[in-house]
Structure formats: C-alpha cells, structure tokens
Amino acid sequence: MADTISSQDLPKIKRNNVGNMKDMISNLPDGILHYILSLLSTKEAVRTSVLSPKWRYLWTQLSTFDFKIPHPLYETNHQNQNSANCLLDLVGRLLCKSNHVERLCVEILKITIDADKVSSLISSAVKHNVHDLQLSIDDRKYLDTKYVLPNCFSASKSLNKLVLQLGFLLYIPDGIRFSSLKILNLSYVRFANEKSVQQLFSGCPVLEELTLYKCIWEYINHITISISSLRTLTIHSDSSCLDYDHYDSCTVTIHAMNIVSLTCTSTPTLKFDLVNPTSIIDANIGIEFDYPQSEVYAANCVFGLLSGLSGVKSLTLTSDTFQCLYLSADTLNLLPLFHNLTNLHIIPSGDMEFTFEVLLDILHKTPKLEVLDIPMVFCAHLEDEDLTINSVPCCFETSLRSFCISNFYGYEAEVRLVKLLLENATILEEMKISFLECLSSNLEHLTNVMNQLGPSDQGNCVTMFQ
Amino acid sequence: MSEIDMSVIKPEMMKPYIWLQTSDGSIQQVEQEIAMFCPFICQEIIQKGTGSSKNCAICLPEKVSPAMLSLVLDYCRFHQVPGRSNKERKSHDEKFIRMDTKRLCDLTSAADSLQLRPLVDLTSRTLARIIEGKSPEEIREIFHLPDDLTEEEKLEPLKNTTDDPRIRLLNRLYAKKRKELKERGRLKNVELEEEHVDERSVDDLLSFINGNDGDSKGSKTSKNKKKNRRKKEQKKNSTLTEASEVKKELSGHSAVSDKIAGTSNMYTEDDTFSHKEFDDDEDVDDEIDPALQAKIDRHICSESRLLQRIVGLPQFTAATTATAEGGSQADGVAPNPTTAILFRYSALLTTYDDDN
C-alpha cells in the first residue's frame, strides 16, 4: 500500500486515493521541514510552495538562498529582463519579510538590468543582516555604465563575506566602511580609478581574506594593498585584465604585515612589490610573461617577488615562473637563500621547459628542503659535459625526505637526477616516479630506462613506480 | 551524553536493562547501553531516575510507536559500538534507510522526539533526496499531500495594481470559471480525470508571470486596448461585483477539492456556446454588444491558448462536448487549472504582503 512509489507508477494512481490517505510529511515539526528544504536547491525548495497551503511559505524561513537565472540562449530580450526584474523584486520582498536570511546569492549574467535595482537589493540585504552576500551581475552591455557602490554597506554590522562580480565601471564612494567584513572576493570587477581601489581596501578594517580574480586594471597603474588584518591574499589576472599597451606599467604593492598565505598568478606578469613579507608561510606563484612584455621585464618581476619570499616554508611555483628566471640566467644566483623552505612543489605549466640547470641552481638555495615535487626535467644541452654536477645540493644529503616526479619521460636529465638522488640522498624515505602515458606504453623505451636507473632499492629509500 | 553525566550516576543504577513505555501503552525491556544512545532516554534516567523497573518505565513521546522504537533501537545498537569505521557506518545507514516513505516520515518524527539528531539528519536527508527532482504532482502523490488549494482559492482575482490588460483578462476568465463552478457544484458534478502536470521551474514561473511578449501578443494587446478603454468602467464595476459575489460564494460554498475537467469547455470556439454563456451571465458586460462580446471571447480563447503554447502546456482541444448542464468528459488536458497554478504563484508574490 504505502510502498515507495516510482515515477512509472504515478500515472496509475487514481487521485481518488489521495483523499483517503493522511498526509505523512506535513506534520513533521517545522524545524525538520526547514532542514529538509535546506538540503534542496533553492529552486526545488521554492517549488514546494505549490504543494499545499502548509507548504506555501515554508521555504521563506530558510536561511540560505541561491537564486540564479541561467544564461539566456539569445541576446537580452524583454522576456529575460522581465524574469530578472521579477527575480529581484521577489528577493527584495523575501528579505523584507524574512528575518532569517543569512546567505544570499544572486546571479544574473548576460541580462541587462537597472543599476538601481542592484542598489536596492544591496541595501535590502544590508538592512536585513545578511551575513554572506554574493552578487554576480554581469553583462557586457554594462561596460560603460558607471556604478557607485552603495554606501549602505557602512551600516552593516553583520556582513562577513562579500563576493562581487559586477560588470559595471565601479566607483567606490568616499568613507565606505565594511565594519565586519572578513572575506572579500572580487571577480571581473572594473575599478574606475585608483582612488576607488584605495577607498575599498581602507574601508575593510578586519578583512582576513582577499581575492582579486581577473579584476580589470585598465585605468589603474598602481594598486596598494595595505590591510593589517589580512591573512590570505589571492591575486589572479590574465591578459583580459590589462590594457595591451600597459602590460608593463601595472604595479601591485603588498604590505604583507600579517599575511600568511599568498597566491599570485598572472599572465602577463604584474609587478609585485612585497613590503614586510616576513609573515608569509606559504606562497603559490605562477607568473609568466606575455607578448609584448619583454622576458627581461618578466624575469625582474619574478626575481623581485621571489626575493621577498625567502622566508616561506612552502612554495608552489609553476615551471614557467622558473623559466622566466632562467632566461636571465645570472639572476638566479642572486636569489637569497630560502632558509625556511621545506616544501617545494613545481607545477607543470605552459611549455614545460624545466631545465636541469635551473633546478640545481634553485636546490642550492634551499638548504632545508624536505619535500621536492617536480613535473619533469630536461636539459637544453644534451652534449654538454657540465651536466655532470659540480656539487650536489646539500639538501640532498641532509634534509630531503621525499621526492616525486610526476611526468617522467625518461630524459637523460631525469635519469641522471634520479641516480644522483639515489646515490647521495641518505635520508630519502620515499621516491615516487610517475610515468607519462606515452612512456608506459612504449615498453622498449621503458625497459631501457629502467635499466639505466639501475637497482632501485638503496638504503632506506622506498621507490614507487607507476 | 557527557562523561560527567555518566559519572554522576550511582553505581546501583547501572543495571543492564531499562524499561520503556511506548505510545500504545506497552512496556518493553531494553538494554540500557543501547537506549542511552538517545538523549531523551538518557535525560529521563539521569534527571528523573525512571526506567529502572516495570512500574516506573520511561514514558516515551507519543510519536514513538513500538515499531518505530524497534527501528530506532536497531539504529542505536549499531552506532553505539565505538569501534566502527566511518565507511561501515555509512553503508549500514544506506541499507537501514531503505523503507517505504510512510515509515521514513514516522521514523523522522520518532527520532526527533527522542532527540536523536544523527538519525533525524539521516532520515531528513533521505526525504530530501526523495523530493529532489520531482514535480509537485509526484511529490503530492508520494506523500499523500492533499491538494487543498480549493478551486475558488485558485480562481481568486489577482490584484491588478498596474492595470495590466493581461491580468484584467485573466480575472475575467476567473470570474467566468467561478460561475461555472457554481453551476457545477449545484448540479453535483463529478469526477476528476486528468492530472495536470506542473513541471514549471521557478524560473519559468517567474518569467511567465511577467508575461511573454511574443509578437502576436503585441498586436492583440493593441487591438484589445481600444475595446478595453471603452469598456474600462464597465469592466471595473463588473470585476468588483464579481469579487464581492465570489466572497459571498466562498463563505457558503463547500470546497470542491478536485479539479473539474469540464471547465475546459469554457474555451470552445463555438460562438453560439459563448453567446449562450453570456446570455446567462448577468454580471459581466451587461451593456455590451453581443457580437463584440463574442469577439472578446475569441480573443480570450486564443490568448489563453497562446499563453499555453508559450509556456509549453499541452494544448487543449476545443472539441469538448461538455455543455452547461454537466457531463464533464473532456478530451484534452484541462489547461486552466495549470494556468491558474502559475498565476497562483504570482498571487503568492502579490498577496504575501497581506498574509503577514
């Protein structure tokens, strides 16, 4: 009788039956019904309002809402705009009536709506104590639309997290203040001028996490980030963020008083200036130059940045970043000693030209290295006898515990490196060599390589091949 | 249960069995260790000292029937053993939770009253999974939810603050339908046939609410505007009287809980039929030229058909043979209730202010 009903059975069930059966779920305590609704997507939860009168307003008591209008297939037309406006009105009304909204996400992309509606949504959200606000309102028609971020943010005592993706040309008003904002995430934001940027950052006195993702620096040459409470900073930019002619003129000055974790990825490179970087513990750098930047400029930028990071414990770099340095070979030697660095992780990127020489030079700068992870390594000059190492990096002998090479092809340089490690790395515990697909399928080459590597069990080292 | 609580218990109370009384009055003996996994039972033992004998059995909340208690205890029996891995617990839960929906709901209730949060979470998540991805119709079927938005409620006139001609039109349609219903009710009609499928997503609902401005609609509106302007006053009055009539109607009328398929006949193209309808209809358009009225009706028909086409509802056939007397066999799916649901949703937006 009351078996779980599959979708195929449904049409067969006569509606007459419903009258005889008692409603099984609506009598559950409201708290449980709210919990169930919170497990559904916002769309599904709102849909339950048509189930029966009891369910009509149940969804409005939820605390997290994710409203997204899917990308329209065609250009903005009246219908889409109506949906968008309708949605904004609904959200506004919801905020007014409900005391519980804590997390609100509204995403309306590729549909133009009035900037006024955005402002009223923001002021409504602020007024009703939303903790976590995410607004993604972007359409290329906004490109020249100026928008001043509403000052009502200053009145908010509860806003902890703000994620903004606004396609407008953004002006930040004077004196704006985000008194409780801990996490700020700006994506694709186009700042109108430097003053706006400064005003925004100085208005976040307790900010702990800042992310600038593909923000457009078209009108800006110099950005200063000086927030004393900041602990995590992520800056990601690509060629869409800068004006072609001004690739070389953008500088980011970071006052890293308390920053613990820094991530900078930019192609073409921005010039990063680190002030007081002693607190940084882990850094993730992915810098590459892009035409028409000069390689030398890029190398200088990378050098400057890496010099500032000499105190980090854990460093993740893309192979391209290293190659930038290599292009100005002398500068490598001028790098300071990374006296705290225990984990070095190199991610393959771009052309994956990661040369042996560069690796060795770096390893000479990392006396306390414990974990080394590289994608591959090869040598530009195969016949060069200098491939025989002058001096084994001291970390091999004193600190290296774990080594991993993820895209092993069997280049001579790779084989030499592995042999070098096996011979000299006395406290190496674990070596992991992952073969590239093309190597493992080429049996002949594989056996060749394995032979070259020689016996793999030496000392305490456990070698894993895969 | 904290360690502190446990240490406060006097040694003589640590008997291996306790007594529980379920909602039907029956008392059973249960291993104490297992029962203590439920905070409610734990509290009863510690704070009130009950459960140590048959005479002072712990009275469980009314939602806990013997069957539910047995399920809860099975759950506790597995989980109170400390040494199990997360994987084991998870796979046990997956098997445990396979039961029919009614039992699932009852179990949620029982677990909640026993304050056993992990089980409440498990059952709630399962219920959420059942609800996920289903249309409201399917959900109603599964949980036996009464679809008790009455016909009348669905047909309440919408607030037309912007004097939108479409809403005006719709209110007129509703007015007509209410009349129909009144007649049906008097003749003691019938039998509900088809299911209407309400698969609209919120987005569609929202987009629909503001109307779909296809080109064809545009021309229609302009045509209507002229007529509407002329009859504006009359319409306003008629809608007002309709509304007050309906209110009187609602208070005295017993709810018709099932949809009436025969209402689709309202949209027949048959001019004579609609004429007939209007001859009986005193409230609306008294002074309007019947020919003009027929024209308006035709517009209404095609407008609602257009609305359906746009929203993707199954087309209703005009070839229904239902007449004013009764007999409600309709070939096509009743379009109106669905449209009504959609506009009901917009009513939700507009009337929300009233209800709170």
Tens-place pLDDT, residues A126-155: 989 899 999 998 887 777 888 888 888 888
φ/ψ bin of B27: left (φ > 0), alpha (ψ from -120 to 50), beta (otherwise): beta
Closest Cα in chain B, distance from residue A343 (Å):
31
Cβ–Cβ contact B318 with A under 8 A: no
3-class SS at B262? helix
Domain layout of chain B by residue ranges: 17-132, 148-191+291-315
**Which B residues 87-106 touch A at CB under 8 Å?**
100-103, 105-106
Q: Report pLDDT for A164.
A: 93
Helix, strand, coil tally for chain A in percent (to 5): 35, 25, 40
- Confidence class for position B313, pLDDT limits 50, 70, 90: very low
Pairing of strands B17-21, B27-31: antiparallel
The answer to whether the CB atoms of A29 and B145 lie below 8 A apart is: no
B17-132 adopts what CATH topology?
Answer: Potassium Channel Kv1.1; Chain A (3.30.710)
Q: Structural domain boundaries of chain A?
A: 29-62, 66-207, 210-280, 292-466
B108-157 tens-digit pLDDT: 999 999 999 999 999 999 999 998 988 888 888 888 887 766 555 555 55
Residues of B numbered 173-192 whose beta carbons fall under 8 angstroms of chain A's beta carbons: which are they?
A: 192
Cross-strand pairs, B242: none
Q: Which of B105, B109, B202 is nearest residue A47 as measured by Cβ atoms?
A: B202
Smallest Cα–Cα separation from B223: which of B286, B160, B281, B302? B302
pLDDT value at residue A181: 94
Show residues of chain B in contact with A4, CB under 8 Å.
100-101, 130, 142
What does the pLDDT read at residue B320? 35
Residue in chain A lying closest to B124 (CA): A36
Q: Is B124 on the interface with A (CB under 8 A)?
A: yes
B136, amino acid identity: P
Beta-carbon separation of B207 and A10 below 8 A: no
Q: Count CA within 13 A, CB hemisphere, residue A23.
A: 15
Contact assignment for B132 to A13 by CB distance below 8 Å: no
Per-residue model confidence (pLDDT) at position B191: 40
Among A5, A26, A47, beta carbon nearest to B142: A5
Q: What is the token pair recorded at B341?
A: 């649901």
Distance from CA of A5 to the nearest CA of B (A): 6
The whole-angstrom distance between A153's CA and the closest CA on chain B is 26
Chain B stretch 131-170, residues whose beta carbon is closer than 8 A to a beta carbon of chain A: 131-134, 136-149
Q: How confident is the prediction for chain B on average, in pLDDT? A: 63
- pLDDT at residue number B276: 39
DSSP B222-247: HHHHHHHHHHHHHHHHHHHHHHHHHH
Residue in chain B lying closest to A41 (CA): B132
Burial of residue A343 (number of CB atoms within 10 Å: 0-12, 13-18, 19+): middle
Helix (H) or strand (E) holding A108, with range, is strand A103-109
pLDDT of residue A233: 94
A52, B140: Cβ pair inside 8 Å? yes
| The predicted structure's pLDDT at residue A37 | 92
The minimal CB distance from B125 to the residues A21, A39, A46 is found for A39
CA distances from A382 to A81, A355, A387, A390 (A): 63, 11, 8, 16
Position with higher pLDDT, A240 vs B39:
B39
Average pLDDT over every residue of A404-419: 81
Identify which of B109, B44, B32, B105 has the alpha carbon closest to the alpha carbon of residue B73.
Answer: B32
Query: pLDDT tens-digit profile of B16-39?
Result: 888 888 888 888 888 888 888 889
CB atoms within 10 A of CB A14: 10
Who wins on pLDDT, A47 or B190? A47
Substitution target from A27, A36, A55, A117 for chain B, most B beta carbons within 10 A: A36
- Average pLDDT, stretch A333-354? 83
Task: Give the residue with greater pLDDT, A270 vs A73.
Answer: A270
Partnered with residue B323 across adjacent β-strands are B326
Class of domain A292-466: alpha beta
3-state secondary structure of A205: coil
Alpha-helical regions (H) of B187-214: 202-209
d(CA A376, CA A352): 8
- Name every chain A residue with its beta carbon within 8 A of the beta carbon of B190: none
Predicted confidence (pLDDT) at residue B314 exceeds the cutoff of 50:
no
DSSP B313: P
B108 in contact with A, Cβ within 8 Å: yes
Kindly list the residues from chain A whose CB atom is less than 8 angstroms away from the CB atom of residue B142. 4-5
The least confident of A118-122, A130-134, B4-8, B235-239 is B235-239
Query: How deeply is B354 buried, as exposed, middle or buried, from its count of CB atoms within 10 A (0-12, 13-18, 19+)?
Result: exposed
Across residues B52-79, what is the average pLDDT? 87
pLDDT at residue A131 in the model: 93
Q: Which residue in A23, A55, A82 is closest to B144 by CB distance?
A: A23
For A288, list phi and psi in degrees, rounded to 5.
-145, 150
**pLDDT for B82-115, tens place per residue?**
888 899 999 999 999 999 888 999 999 999 999 9
Report DSSP state, residue A428: -
Determine the Cα–Cα distance for residues A293 and A300; give it in Å rounded to an integer.
12
pLDDT in tens, B46-57: 888 887 788 888
* Beta carbons of A18 and B125 less than 8 Å apart: no
| b/e A35-64 (16+ beta carbons within 10 angstroms → b) | bbbbbbebebbbbbbbbbebbbebbbbbbe
ipTM of the complex: 0.71
Mean pLDDT of chain A: 82
A124 CA: distance to closest CA in chain B (Å): 16
For the full predicted model, state whether its pTM sits above 0.90.
Answer: no
CB distance A130 to A157 below 8 Å: no
Q: What is the mean pLDDT of residues B212-225?
A: 38
Is A40's CB within 8 Å of B108's CB? no
Using a CB-CB cut-off of 8 Å, the residues of chain A touching B130 are 4
CA torsion through residues A263, A265, A270, A271, sign: positive
* Nearest CA distance, A117 vs chain B (angstrom): 17
The predicted pLDDT at position A105 comes to 93
Which residues of B are less than 8 Å from A111 in CB distance?
none
Query: Residue B256: its pLDDT value, please?
Result: 37
Q: Which residues of B touch A13 (CB under 8 A)?
A: 141
Q: Which residue has the higher pLDDT, A163 or A269?
A: A163
Q: What average pLDDT does this structure show over A202-229? A: 90
Query: Among residues 203-222 of chain B, which lie with CB inside 8 Å of chain A?
Result: 203, 206-207, 209-213
Q: How confident is the model at residue A168 (pLDDT cuts 50, 70, 90)?
A: confident
pLDDT of residue B327: 36
Comparison of pLDDT for B249 and A432, the residue scoring more = A432
Cβ of A90 and B112 within 8 Å? Answer: no
Structure tokens at B131: 């609800």
Question: Which residues of A fall within a CB distance of 8 Å from B202?
Answer: 43, 46-47
Looking at residue A235, its pLDDT comes to 93
Given a contact cutoff of 8 angstroms between Cβ atoms, the answer to whether A427 and A402 are in contact is no
Considering only CA atoms, which of B219, B238, B220, B255 is closest in space to residue B174?
B238
Closest CA to A384 of A416, A408, A352, A424: A416
- 3-class DSSP state of A214: coil
Is there a contact between B128 and A40 if contact means CB atoms under 8 Å apart?
A: yes
A1 and B98 in contact (C-beta within 8 Å)?
Answer: no
Nearest-CB residue to A87 (from B101, B121, B206): B206
Report the C-alpha gap between B297 and B291 in whole angstroms: 10
Average pLDDT over residues A40-64: 87
At A323 the three-state DSSP class reads helix
User: Which residues in A lie closer than 8 A to residue B136 (C-beta atoms)?
Assistant: 47-48, 50-51
Can you spell out the DSSP letters for A115-138? HHHHHHHHHHHHHTT-SEEEEEEE
Task: Write out the two tokens for A448.
Answer: 């060749």
Candidate ranges A126-140, A318-332, A366-380, B303-317; pick with highest mean pLDDT? A126-140
Please tell me which residue of chain B has the smallest CA distance to A71: B203
pLDDT of A454 > 60? The answer is yes
Going by pLDDT thresholds of 50, 70 and 90, the confidence category of residue A461 is: low
Most confident of A435-449, B148-162, B232-246, B288-302: A435-449
Contact yes or no for B205/B250 (Cβ under 8 A)? no
- Per-residue DSSP letter, B146: -
Average the pLDDT over A153-170 and give the result: 90
Q: Do A18 and B147 touch (CB under 8 A)?
A: yes
State the count of interchain CB pairs (< 8 A) between A and B.
142
CB-nearest partner of A86 from B136, B146, B209: B209
